[in-house]
Amino acid sequence: MARHGRRSVLSVCLGAAALVLCWQMVSPAFIQPKQNRGLEAAAPAALGALASMAGTMPAEALKGPLAGTDLCTKPLIYFIYPLCDPLFLVCPLYNFPLVLGFFAALVTVINLILPETQPDEDLRVG
């Protein structure tokens, strides 16, 4: 009985190996050969590189309103870094309070404008 179980496992393994071998022989037939396109293929890559470089140039050239003042000194600069150097506005550590404040104000305005967002007076416990 144990020999019969070993034979079935061996036959399944050999069948899987044969299937993988057939797959390897047939699969290259479906791959299209690469074509040399010259400048046509390089143009989109060059545009993408230029677009990514253009996004970084203004951030390096921009100066903050407090740049060079006495407020941009060690103990205080950790709280007002974006005002000294606007490059820190893209940093998530300094960007999070700005985004949080924006969305908190947006939600507050929506709650004030739309009465449907206010809780129902009849459902209050008290």
Residue 102's pLDDT is 93
Helical pair 92-113 and 74-84, crossing angle rounded to 10 deg? 60
Handedness of CA 38, 42, 44, 46 (dihedral sign): negative
Residue 87's pLDDT is 77
Q: Helix count (H) and strand count (E) of the chain?
A: 4, 0
Domain boundaries, the chain: 62-118
Tens of pLDDT, residue by residue over 74-118, are 888 877 877 888 777 777 777 888 889 999 999 999 999 998 888
Here the tokens at position 114 are 């739309």
d(CA 122, CA 11): 73
Here the tokens at position 7 are 């034979």
Predicted TM-score (pTM) of this structure? 0.37
Residue 31's pLDDT is 65
Higher model confidence: residue 97 or residue 59?
97
Across the chain, mean pLDDT equals 76
